[in-house]
Amino acid sequence: MTSSTDYDAPRRSLVDVPGEDSLEELKARRAAAQSPTADLDDAENPEGFELPGADLSDEELTVTVVPMRADEFRCCRCFLVHHRSQLAPGQSGADTCMECAW
């Protein structure tokens, strides 16, 4: 059985490729690959993390709320606001979007 060849891998000359890597080189590569600096980024910025049940009474709303327009409707199943072109045909009574009507 023949082994597969990775043609996308960078090519090395036979002089550069030793028979086996030394134990020290392998340890150095493993230590470099397991650098803990990537894991510390979230710990340095805890502002985005909130515990359940936290008191948010002093927080302000940062999202602008736009009222529903005349050519929009609110779906009775998913409660999202859609354009009238998304209104499912043949639905009696409640407005339902095409996605929820399926």
Q: Write out the chain's pLDDT in tens, 102 residues.
A: 677 878 888 876 655 555 566 788 888 888 776 655 555 555 565 666 677 888 878 888 788 889 999 999 999 999 999 999 999 988 677 899 999 988
Structural domain spans, the chain: 72-101
3-state secondary structure of 82: strand
* 10 class by beta-carbon count within 10 Å (0-12 exposed, 13-18 middle, 19+ buried): exposed
Q: Which residue has the tokens 């409640």?
A: 94
And the tokens for 37? 């600096």
| Exposure b/e, 24-40, CB count within 10 A at least 16 = b | eeeeeeeeeeeeeeeee
CA distances from 23 to 12, 14, 28, 30, 72 (A): 20, 20, 9, 11, 67
- What pLDDT is stored for residue 41 in this prediction? 55
Quickly list DSSP for 46-81: GGG---TT---TT----SPPPPPPTTEEE-TTT--E
- What pLDDT is stored for residue 44 in this prediction? 62
- Predicted TM-score (pTM) above 0.75: no
- What pLDDT is stored for residue 93 in this prediction? 79
